[in-house]
Amino acid sequence: MNNASSTTIPATPPTTGLATRFTAFRILLMLSLVLPTAVWTSYQTFVILEPNELRPLEWVQLCLASVLYLWLSMAFWTAIIGFILKLFKRDPLTLKRQHAFADKHLKLNNRHALIMPVYNEDTLRIMAGFEANVLGISKEAQSDQFDFYMLSDTQDESLIDKELSYWASMLKRLPSDIANRCFYRRRVNNTERKVGNVKDFCQRWGYMYESMTVLDADSVMSGSKVVELAQRMEFNAKVGLIQTIPMPVRQTTFFGRFVQFAAHVYSPMLATGLAFWQTNSANYWGHNATIRISAFIDTCGLPKLTGRKPFGGDILSHDFVEAALLRRAGWEVYLLTDHHGSYEEVPPNIIDYATRDRRWVQGNMQHLALIKTPKLRTANRLHFLFGAFAYVSSILLLFMLIAGTADAVIKSLTPPVYFTQPYQLFPTWLITKQAVMEITLYVTIALLFLPKMLGILLTLLQRSREFGGPLKFMFSAILEFSFAVLLAPIMLMYHSYFVLNVLAGKSVKWEAQTREGKMLPWRTAFTFTWPLTLLGLVWSAVVLVFAPALFYWLLPVLTGLVLAYPVIRYSSSVSLGLMFKRIGILLIPEELRPTYEMKKLQQTTANLNAAPYLVNVFTLPAEQWQDMQSQHLPNAIPDDKNKETQEGTNILTPKKLA
């Protein structure tokens, strides 16, 4: 029995409380904004095409455009609401004036765990990051309520030895009272990947803790943020999960710095819009979140899915599903939009970034089979749908562009027919709805780019100094915007290819991602870009010859494809990224004012050394096994009994080296 269940929950202090107002109304409000916008833009497209008799390819364009307008409208209105709330400093949950967390003095009554699941990662980075997280919490007044676990699924023998040696080195540096609450556990068989790793921890030691804060291998969270999440969990008895916004940091390549700058500018506004309409049915992103362990054990056991991979087998993007199951069981799930104190790292180049997306494409498309799960909340079904559509939209847009190009080429090769009926007295002229075309174009541009403009405006008005001042921020924003336009068609093609691979039944391995930046070799860049460049050149030639008027409309797409080779190569440059950093471009707040945890991470990375290790430093707490039963989901393989037992996932006991 989890000790939290026997604890009396005190009255919730004002800024610790998590609550929403007008929950049902918000979904209705979003529908009342999104649907008319999508219907109007789709109808305008029909008005443009209809006077000259719709051909099959035009019907294809119209249908695809209608679906894409629905997607664009949802993203657009989410950003607009986020902008308004951020501008007037309103909390997206309560809609009241937003205040900083002010209940840091509240006493924690229960114990809490911080866990970092790892798998074949860069040992130096994960150990330095883990130590920075531990030291950050140790500075807090209530740090004695926390234990710290590195949950290793590493299978590479050389990395296993490094983990043990660096762990021993870390324990020697930490104060003894902190070191005694740090635990390293490695599974011999890493069944069910990260899901099985966290599940194993909960089943063995979950009874000791009210909540667990889940880190990724590259996560860093401030001690004050971790304590705040634990306090919110204790003082909100109905809350099952609290998700923070992980902000990218520590990037050196130009691409990495581009991604982290964009996240710091746009993510707070977009997350605020999301929190507004999803209310207490927020999503889980797999890390930088705090979860009530008893609720997790009771409701989040994931079954295997029937059918062949990639749709069958283990649930890959488990986090979305776990949030939905918590909410289905009555637990509340929240997204905190205060973006301070929660950090992660991103892939340093476009190839590694796309590789990570390839895994997410497969995992998110699995969710389409789970939308029909009984008793899910509307917001969670939308999470499943939008998660998949974030990638499916790419192939729909690609098909629409191909259909538009084919239609234009066919029309250019087909002589116009002005007399379509026998004995027709007057010719049938082609009708161009110029005014409607211009209005629809401007609205589409607004749907695409206004959210970015609002994010830039909001940052300029409220926190441009955090990015080096107004002038440097504006230069950075223009650079980010320009590169985003250049990058968009490259990612469009990669995502389309990934979706086709999933539909063709090709699965993917979920391996550790690259985290440290270095310049991609020309050969690597060429391998991953020559099909894009060839496609861009052929497409450009066809359009210029047969439909030159269309060329200028397609120029942003064609430019990105033709230049994919140098874009991918030079955006991976560390020297280019650091040059922009030196002159104050693409700066982020944490570079101007590093947090304690960021400083410690940097220092530890530079000074961390391996050390001989002894068996006794790997002592683990006493176990009290709790079965975590699989939940009933559509297409799930029946699992009446939890087949994984305490003996079924053996823990490695290190041998004495010194």
pLDDT digits 0-9 by tens, 530-565: 999 999 999 999 999 999 989 988 999 999 999 999
N- to C-terminal Cα separation, the chain? 39
Residue 185 placed within a domain: yes
Q: Does the structure show a pLDDT above 90 at 24?
A: no
Residue 187 placed within a domain: yes
Helix (H) or strand (E) holding 556: helix 548-562
Residue 374 placed within a domain: no
User: Highest-confidence range of 48-62, 215-229, 297-311, 354-368, by mean pLDDT?
Assistant: 215-229
Q: Which of 98-102, 281-285, 313-317, 398-402 has the lowest mean pLDDT?
A: 98-102
Q: For the segment 264-284, what is each residue's pLDDT rounded down to a tens digit?
A: 999 999 999 999 999 999 999
Same domain, 137 and 56: no
Same domain, 305 and 259: yes
C-alpha to C-alpha distance for 604 and 174, rounded to whole angstroms: 12
Backbone phi, then psi, for 225, in 5-degree steps?
A: -70, -40
Cα 46 vs. chain centroid, distance in angstroms?
35
DSSP single-letter state for residue 97: B
Selected residue with higher pLDDT from 106 and 322: 322
Residue 635 placed within a domain: no
CB distance 356 to 513 below 8 Å: yes
Same domain, 46 and 137: no
Contacting residues for 317 by C-beta, under 8 A, at least 6 apart: 360, 363, 364, 366, 367, 387
C-alpha to C-alpha distance for 424 and 434, rounded to whole angstroms: 27
Instruction: Indicate the number of domains in the chain.
Output: 2
Label residue 591 by pLDDT band (50, 70, 90).
very high
Residues 151-174, mean pLDDT to the nearest whole number:
90
The b/e string for 16-28 (b: 16+ C-beta within 10 A; e otherwise) is: bebbbeebeebbe
Residues 405-422, mean pLDDT to the nearest whole number:
76
Range of the domain at 50: 37-88+391-414+435-591
Q: Does the structure show a pLDDT above 50 at 117?
A: yes
Same domain, 138 and 171: yes
Q: What pLDDT is attached to residue 438?
A: 81
C-alpha to C-alpha distance for 276 and 235, rounded to whole angstroms: 22
CB distance 645 to 184 below 8 Å: no
Residue (of 294, 372, 368, 367) closest to 330 by Cα position: 294
Residues 229-256, mean pLDDT to the nearest whole number:
95
CB distance 113 to 213 below 8 Å: yes
**CA angle at 311 for the pair 241 and 510, rounded to the nearest 5°:** 65
Residue 334 placed within a domain: yes
Q: What pLDDT is attached to residue 15?
A: 67
Same domain, 160 and 212: yes
Residue 539 placed within a domain: yes
Cα 97 vs. chain centroid, distance in angstroms?
28
Q: Does the structure show a pLDDT above 60 at 643?
A: no
Contacting residues for 641 by C-beta, under 8 A, at least 6 apart: none
C-alpha to C-alpha distance for 57 and 410, rounded to whole angstroms: 10
Single out the residue in 573, 591, 609 at which a domain terminates: 591
Beta bridge partners of 212: 113, 291
Burial class (CB in 10 A: 0-12, 13-18, 19+), 602: middle
**Rg value, the chain, Cα:** 27
Same domain, 116 and 83: no
Q: Does the structure show a pLDDT above 50 at 260?
A: yes
CB distance 292 to 241 below 8 Å: yes
Single out the residue in 570, 591, 612 at which a domain terminates: 591
Same domain, 266 and 321: yes
Same domain, 130 and 227: yes
Residue 613 placed within a domain: no
Sheet with strand 220-221: strands edge to edge = 220-221, 342-344, 247-248
Residue (of 266, 172, 228) closest to 467 by Cα position: 266
Same domain, 398 and 532: yes
CB distance 497 to 574 below 8 Å: no
* Beta strands, E only, 469-559: none
- What does 432-461 look like in DSSP terms, one character per residue? --HHHHHHHHHHHHHHHHHHHHHHHHHHHH
Residues 382-391, mean pLDDT to the nearest whole number:
92
Q: For the segment 501-518, what is each residue's pLDDT rounded down to a tens digit?
A: 888 887 766 555 666 778
Q: Does the structure show a pLDDT above 90 at 398?
A: yes
Single out the residue in 322, 349, 376 at which a domain terminates: 349
Q: What pLDDT is attached to residue 85?
A: 96
Q: Does the structure show a pLDDT above 90 at 655?
A: no
Same domain, 451 and 396: yes
Residue 60 placed within a domain: yes
Same domain, 299 and 447: no
C-alpha to C-alpha distance for 247 and 260, rounded to whole angstroms: 7
Same domain, 66 and 160: no
CATH number of the domain where residue 116 is located: 3.90.550.10
